[in-house]
Amino acid sequence: MRFFTIVSVAALVLAVLGSLARERRMEQRMRFGAAGQSSPVSVEGERAVALEKATFGAGCFWGVEAAFRKVDGVVDTAVGYSGGHTPNPTYEDVCSHTTGHAEVVQVTFDPARVSYEELLEVFWRIHDPTQVNRQGPDIGDQYRSVIFYHSGEQRRIAEESRAALEASGRLSRPVATKIEPAQTFWRAEEYHQRYYEKRGITSGCARG
């Protein structure tokens, strides 16, 4: 009798452990996406939300990141370097104008709350897209105006948005913004991340 009791208890314990393991796997898939899924996933209550990425270069990445962090629907940002030919560049490498990288902000957003079109409106508004390899006092190819698209749909929307801006008559010079496929994003050094927030800066892009 005792033998059968021990066996029953052991079976119950194994069943409970198996149930907990299944729940944990389901939670991980909800948080990080199923195997092979390229888009990150967040969980809002009972609803899994597929997030998307957008990458923009619009001059000094400190101020650009600060602007996008204010947008409702943007869930994360990171500053870094993209569009160059040197692997794993440092800030000093990029500033040497020998790597070909642009300072960029990679935006992770919830498309149910903010559209890619709306992010482009922010992009056009926060910099001068007619300047070539500079933004104001910041001069160099790392400050170029560029949109790195992550899908064919993003490319179409970006090109239509650029054409609409050109046709609007709002600008006195042609739009110099390049639209290119997304390349490797090299995350910048940690002291660059959320630079404005760390230093209590509310405007401008003073380098130090």
Residue numbers annotated as active site: 60
Cβ atoms 140, 133 nearer than 8 A = yes
DSSP structure class, residue 39: S
For residues 175 and 145, what is the distance between their CA atoms, to the nearest angstrom? 9
Q: Can you tell me the distance from the alpha carbon of 5 to that of 72, in angstroms, rounded to the nearest whole number?
A: 58
Give 138-204 as a DSSP string. EESGGG-EEEEESSHHHHHHHHHHHHHHHHHT--SS----EEEE----EEPPGGGTTHHHHHT--S-
By three-state DSSP, how is residue 104 classified?
strand
Beta bridge partners of 109: 52, 74
34 within 8 A of 181, measured Cβ to Cβ? no
* Cβ–Cβ < 8 Å for 171, 162: no
Q: What is the dihedral of CA 90, 96, 99, 102, to 10 degrees?
A: 80
